[in-house]
Structure 1
Amino acid sequence: MRYISTRGEAPALGFEDVLLTGLATDGGLYVPESLPHFSLEEIRSWRGLPYAELAYKVMYPFVEDAIPADDFRKMLDETYSVFSHQAVAPLVQLDTNEWVMELFRGPTLAFKDFALQLLGRLLDYVLEKRNQHVVIMGATSGDTGSAAIEGCRRCEHVDIFILHPHQRVSEVQRRQMTTVQGDNIHNIAVKGNFDDCQRMVKESFGNQSFLGGKTQLAAVNSINWARIMAQIVYYFQASLALGGPDRSMAFSVPTGNFGDIFAGYLAKKMGLPISQLVIATNRNDILHRFMSGNKYEQHQLEHTLSPSMDIMVSSNFERLLFDLHGRDGAAVKALLENAAKGPVSIEDYRWKHARKLFDSDAVDDKTTCDTIRDVYEQNEYLLDPHTAIGVRAARNCRRDSAVPMITLGTAHPAKFPDAIAESGLSVKPQLPAHMADLFEREERYTVLDNNVSEVQGFIAKHWKNA
């Protein structure tokens, strides 16, 4: 399988190179040249498979040119053995045909573990094979950072530099990143917002001269195709658990960077019957404004109770735009260049095509807290603020009550105690046993100005072979 850029000017690459490259040389994102497609009969035959074996069935076509089957199976067994629930991604019923899929049973209590536990193992495998060293540079709005550090901290061939917006992630999220000790682990708190961090990462990938030609950058953000690939699997898992593929499913996805919901879009293209995908956002609602009114326009970023979605530049949305424009890289490049200058729209027929599958909603902090309280009072089930946004959006946008609606539960509520308290509940979510001493652990991070040269200088000075 070959991978091509969404902007059409970078060379096609194989899986190994895409894994290590992250952003394409033309500034685009890599996508498969073609997708595998599974028949309903084949999908049906996967019922009852353990999660790791299902992951192998779904993902192996993407990596088979680079990794022998037995090696990939071993990676997947190791990846999902560290999750705290035997089902890996268990479903919890809230109401008739309404479900939450718990994607926070991994070591850092967020859905990012599904991809980043695997990504660390993939990097180790490929870098060992190539006898190569890389510098991981990533930006996080909260959860990616800790999942990336946990997934990659044992990798012998990487140094990790994670940028997070200073004082704009929850305390639990910050401590999960900054209390992991290791000579190859570096946390940078940038005096800005997530979009500033993400912009620095993209700019650094575009010009890596600050590394002096001694190493290269590798991506852990969802611009890395391997992240998207791993997230496709749990859509199949949820469907198979609830009667798929013989009935269609609907999913509501809390999303800021569009990666998690894009994985659902790919699952549908690969043959899984999905009738509706709901884009659930907070006040930073650029995706909702586009999907509801065909207007893509950046507003001022706002700080909310759901910080992992405090994003205004949704990187992975480019991958959907590429498909909506008939995979015309030049058209995507022109559109995004115009979007940097002001509001843009796409042709009406393209937008209407997207609306056949996608709906969207934007949920403010008060409604988020109301949803946390209502669901707890109805079911004694505690939602984190991101998942609460997903549940509210699902209820507001649901097209057909006969179709199972599954909200992706993206994080453990213990990561966001302020939102739980603001909802008016007296219950205090407890961290799992392996994190019980989190607030006693020593933190280590560096605060830097919102300046790409300063950040690049820090990385150039501190990676191990500098």
Structure 2
Amino acid sequence: MKYISTRGQSPALSFEDAMLAGLASDGGLYVPEKIPQFSKEEIASWASLSYQELAFKVMSPFVDGEVPDDELRELIQKTYSTFRHDAIAPLVQTAHNEFILELFHGPTLAFKDFALQFLGNLLDYVLKKKDQRVVIMGATSGDTGSAAIEGCRHSDNVDIFILHPHNRVSEVQRRQMTTVLQKNVFNLALEGNFDDCQNMVKSSFGDQSFLPPDRQLVAVNSINWVRIMAQIVYYFYAGLALDAPHRAVSFSVPTGNFGDIFAGYLAKKMGLPIDRLVIATNANDILHRCISNNDHSLETLVQSLSPSMDIMVSSNFERMLFDLYDQDGGAINNLMLNFKTTGKLILSDLALTKARAVFTSYRLDDKTMTQVMTHFWEATGYLLDPHTAIGVEAARKTLYRQDIPVVCLSTAHPAKFPESIRKAGFSNEPELPRYMADLFDRKESYSVQPNNIEVVQQFIADNIR
């Protein structure tokens, strides 16, 4: 399996090299040259598999033997042994043909654990084999950072620097990152928003001259293909639990950087019978505007009660565009350069038609989101986190096929967002798990940095071990 850049001007790489490269040298994102496809019969034969066994079936074609099968199985087992629920990704029914896929049972209480704990183990395996040290530089809108730190903090071959927007993540999200005091972990609070953090990371990948000559950057954001690959699995897991491939299933996905829902799109291409994928957004609704009105234009980023979705430039949307434009790297390069220059991106009629055949979208503001949390609790006794509430309401407003079950991805534990819980009118905040009960008593360590790439890069250079 070879991996190619969405902008068509970088050489094809192997699986391991694409993982270590993160962003392609031409500024594009790596994708598989071909998407593996499974027959209906093959998918049906997986119905009784555990999550770990299914993960091997889904991911091994992308790895294509670069990691021996026994080693890959061992990495998968190690990854999901840290999850607190035996089902790994349990389904909870909340209405007729409506289900919540709980993706918050990993060590940092968010869906990012599914990919980042696996990426951390895989990265450690590859770096030890190559006897190589690397620098991880990542941006987070809240959940990626803690999951990446948890996945990589024990690695002797990694120094990890995570940028989060100063005062724009929840206190729980911040403390999950900043209370990890290993010598190879550095948290930087950037005086800007998530897009500023993400742009700084991408620019640094484009020019790594600030690093020592024996080091390279590795990505933990969803620009890293391994992140997407690992997230495909839970779509198959949920679909099989609802009798796929013998019936179709829809998914509603709280969406910021487009990686999670792009994994669902790939699951559909691989053979899972997905009817619709719902792009659920908050007030930062560039993806909703794109699908509904072909308006993919930058607006001022809004700080919301669903902070993990406070993103305007969705990196993984480029991977989708590459597919919509029949893998025409030149066309994508032109689109992205124009977007960078003008802040606007207009899809061709054919690309928009293709997108609308799979996706629908919806937007919720903070007021409506908190009302959904309250009403859902009153109706079901189930407490939604703010992002999941957006996903549930988006599904209910856009999907009209009562005969097709819809799975709403629950992307984080509600205890991570106490402010949203209070504003939804709940007097008692949900408790953190026992192993995290002392989170607010733990010592924090982080550095507030200006929104200046030279200053941040110098900080990284000065702190590499």
Category of TM-score, reference length = shorter chain: over 0.9
Distance 1:33 1:348 in 2: 25
1:296 offset after TM fit, Å?
0.9
What's the offset of the Cα at 1:181? 1.3
Aligned to 1:145: 145
Aligned-residue Cα RMSD (Å) equals 0.7
* Structure 1 position 353, deviation (Å): 1.3
Q: In structure 1, what is the equivalent of residue 373 of structure 2? A: 372
Partner of 1:197: 197
The corresponding residue for 1:175 is 175
Shift in Å at residue 428 of structure 1?
A: 1.4
Matched, 1:212 2:212: yes
Q: Kindly indicate whether residue 430 of structure 2 is the aligned counterpart of residue 429 of structure 1.
A: yes
Deviations 1:243-265 (A, max 9, x none): 11100000000010000000000
- Structure 1 letter corresponding to 2:304: T
TM-superposed deviation, 1:342: 3.4
Name segments (4+ residues, structure 1) moved above 2 Å: none
**SS of the residue 1:48 aligns to:** coil
**Structure 2 match to 1:299:** 299
Alpha-carbon distance between aligned partners in 2 of 1:137 and 1:345, rounded to the nearest angstrom: 31
Does structure 2 retain, via aligned residues, the 8 Å contact 1:163–1:188?
Answer: yes
Q: Partners of 2:351 and 2:228 in 1: how far apart?
A: 23
CA distance in 1, matches of 2:399, 2:213: 52
SS in 1 for 2:344: coil
Q: Output one character per residue of 1:215-263: Cα deviation in whole Å (capped at 9) or x when no partner.
A: 0000000000000000000000000101111000000000100000000
| Counterpart-to-counterpart distance in 1, 2:458 and 2:447 | 13
1:331 maps to: 331
Aligned pair count reads: 464
Distance 1:352 1:61 in 2: 30
One-letter amino acid matched to 2:174: R
Aligned to 1:91: 91
Matched AA of 2:343: G
Partner amino acid for 1:192?
G
Q: The residue matched to 2:169 in structure 1 has which SS? A: coil
Structure-2 residue corresponding to 1:350: 351
Q: CA deviation at 1:212?
A: 3.2
The alignment partner of 2:49 has SS state of coil
Amino acid at match of 1:357: V
Cα offset for 1:65?
3.1
If the length of structure 1 is used for normalisation, what is the TM-score? 0.99
Task: Return the alpha-carbon distance in structure 1 between the equivalents of residues 343 and 419 of structure 2.
Answer: 35
The answer to which of 426-435 and 136-145 deviates more is 426-435
Q: Post-superposition shift, 1:37?
A: 0.5
Query: Once the 2 structures are TM-superposed, how far is the Cα of residue 295 of structure 1 from its aligned partner?
Result: 1.6
| Partner residue, 1:276 | 276
Aligned to 2:249: 249
Question: Is the Cα contact below 8 Å between 1:19 and 1:225 reproduced in 2?
Answer: yes
Q: How far did residue 354 of structure 1 move?
A: 0.8
Measured in 2, the distance between the counterparts of 1:344 and 1:45 equals: 42
In the TM superposition, 1:378-389 aligns within 5 A as 378-389=379-390
Secondary structure of the corresponding residue to residue 268 of structure 1 = helix
Quote the residue 1:162 is aligned against. Answer: 162
**Rounded Cα–Cα distance in structure 1 between residues aligned with 2:23 and 2:402:** 40
Give the SS at the match of 2:345: coil
The secondary structure found in structure 2 opposite 1:209 is coil
Aligned to 2:63: 63
Per the TM alignment, residue 337 of structure 1 is displaced from its structure 2 partner at its CA by 1.2
**1:400-458 Cα shifts (integer Å, max 9, x gaps):** 11100100000000000110110112231100011000000000000010000000000
Equivalent AA in structure 1 for residue 9 of structure 2: E
The answer to whether the Cα contact below 8 Å between 1:117 and 1:151 also exists between their aligned partners in 2 is: yes
Is the partner of 2:210 in helix, strand or coil?
A: helix
> In structure 2, what residue type is equivalent to 1:455?
V
Give 2:420's aligned amino acid: A
Q: 1:328-366: per-residue Cα shift (whole Å, max 9, x none)?
A: 001001011111213231111220111011000111001
| Aligned-residue offset at 1:311 | 0.2
Q: Which amino acid aligns with 2:108?
A: T
Quote the Cα distance in structure 2 between the aligned partners of 1:308 and 1:425: 21
Q: Which residue of 1 aligns with 2:45?
A: 45
User: 1:214: how far off?
Assistant: 2.6
Shift of 1:399: 3.2
- Any stretches of 5+ residues in structure 1 without a counterpart? none
Partner amino acid, structure 2, of 1:205: F
C-alpha contact (below 8 Å) 1:15/1:65 kept by paired residues: no
CA distance in 2, matches of 1:212, 1:38: 44
Helix, strand or coil: the match of 1:31?
Answer: strand
What's the counterpart of residue 445 of structure 1? 446
How many angstroms apart in 1 are the aligned matches of 2:48 and 2:372? Answer: 33
Counterpart of 1:361, as a letter, is Y
State the TM-score, normalized to the length of structure 2: 0.99
SS of aligned partner of 2:61: helix
Report the secondary structure of 1:210's partner residue: coil
Percent of aligned pairs sharing the same letter = 63
| Matched residue type, 1:35 | I
Question: Do the aligned residues in 2 keep the contact of 1:194 with 1:311 (CA within 8 Å)?
Answer: yes
What SS class does the counterpart of residue 297 from structure 2 fall into? coil
Aligned counterparts of 1:212 and 1:187: Cα–Cα separation in 2: 20
How far is the alpha carbon of 1:30 from its aligned partner? 0.1
2:13 is the counterpart of 1:8:
no
Can you give the 5+ residue segments of structure 2 that lack an aligned partner in the other structure? none
The answer (yes or no) to whether the contact 1:59–1:230 under 8 Å persists in 2 is yes
- Once the two structures are TM-superposed, the CA of residue 460 in structure 1 deviates from its matched residue by 0.3
Amino acid at match of 2:44: R
CA–CA separation in structure 2 for the residues paired with 1:268 and 1:377: 34
